[in-house]
């Protein structure tokens, strides 16, 4: 039996086939899937929804320090307890050093994982389209970070 993610992926691919492989939003695909009877709107646990919303809000809270640097206030650490994965949050001002070390290590690993996948995706795309000029990808962000620090560009996305 297909996992939930595999079911959603299959619905996405069916939607793409029906709509000529054109770029689309996931909302369009979900609405189509519901209309086709392939999906049912989920029953939402209000506590889970509110906890998810709170995590989003915590992740988005920033302050500015005395040097004018914008920083993230709240930091999460993923832990497993009795076979259940939990996310433990702490405000930077009150967090222990071990909590922050683990939070930073997990975020760094996430960035590295994303960059590895991005590099793989670019390489595969370039191999699929050898007739085109290859897309070049620079993975050294030293200059990007320095530029943002030097210009006080905390809001640069």
Predicted confidence at residue 155, as pLDDT, reads 53
pTM of this prediction exceeds 0.75: no
Please state the domain extents for the chain: 4-35, 46-151
Check residue 9 and report its DSSP letter.
Answer: H
DSSP 101-118: HHHHHHHHHHHHHHHHHH
Q: Average pLDDT of 42-67?
A: 95
**End-to-end C-alpha distance for the chain, whole angstroms:** 40
Residue 86 is predicted with a pLDDT of: 92
Q: What pLDDT does 156 receive?
A: 46
- How much of the chain, in percent, has pLDDT values that exceed 90? 81
Q: What is the pLDDT of residues 95-152, one digit of tens each?
A: 999 999 999 999 999 999 999 999 999 999 999 999 999 999 999 999 998 888 887 6
pLDDT tens, residue by residue, 139-152? 999 999 888 888 76
Beta-carbon count within 10 A of 103 CB: 21
Given a cut of 80, whether residue 153 has pLDDT beyond it is: no
Q: Which of 19-28, 42-51, 140-149 has the highest mean pLDDT?
A: 42-51
Instruction: Find the DSSP H helices in the chain.
Output: 4-18, 26-35, 46-59, 97-128, 142-151
3-state SS assignment for residue 91: strand
The three-state secondary structure class of 82 is coil
Q: Who contacts 122 (Cβ-Cβ below 8 Å, separation ≥6)?
A: 135, 137
């Amino acid at each position: 039996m297909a996992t939930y993610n595999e079911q959603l992926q299959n619905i996405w691919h069916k939607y793409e086939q029906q709509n000529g492989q054109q770029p689309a939003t996931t909302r369009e695909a979900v609405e189509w899937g519901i209309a086709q009877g392939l999906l049912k709107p989920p029953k939402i646990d209000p506590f889970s929804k509110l906890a998810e919303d709170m995590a989003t809000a915590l992740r988005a809270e920033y302050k500015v320090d005395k040097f004018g640097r914008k920083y993230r206030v709240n930091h999460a650490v993923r832990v497993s307890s009795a076979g259940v994965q939990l996310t433990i949050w702490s405000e930077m001002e009150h967090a222990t050093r071990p909590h922050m070390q683990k939070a930073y290590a997990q975020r760094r690993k996430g960035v590295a994982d994303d960059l590895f996948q991005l590099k793989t995706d670019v390489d595969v795309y370039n191999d699929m389209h050898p007739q085109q000029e290859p897309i070049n990808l620079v993975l050294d962000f030293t200059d990007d970070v320095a530029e943002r620090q030097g210009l006080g560009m905390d809001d640069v996305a």
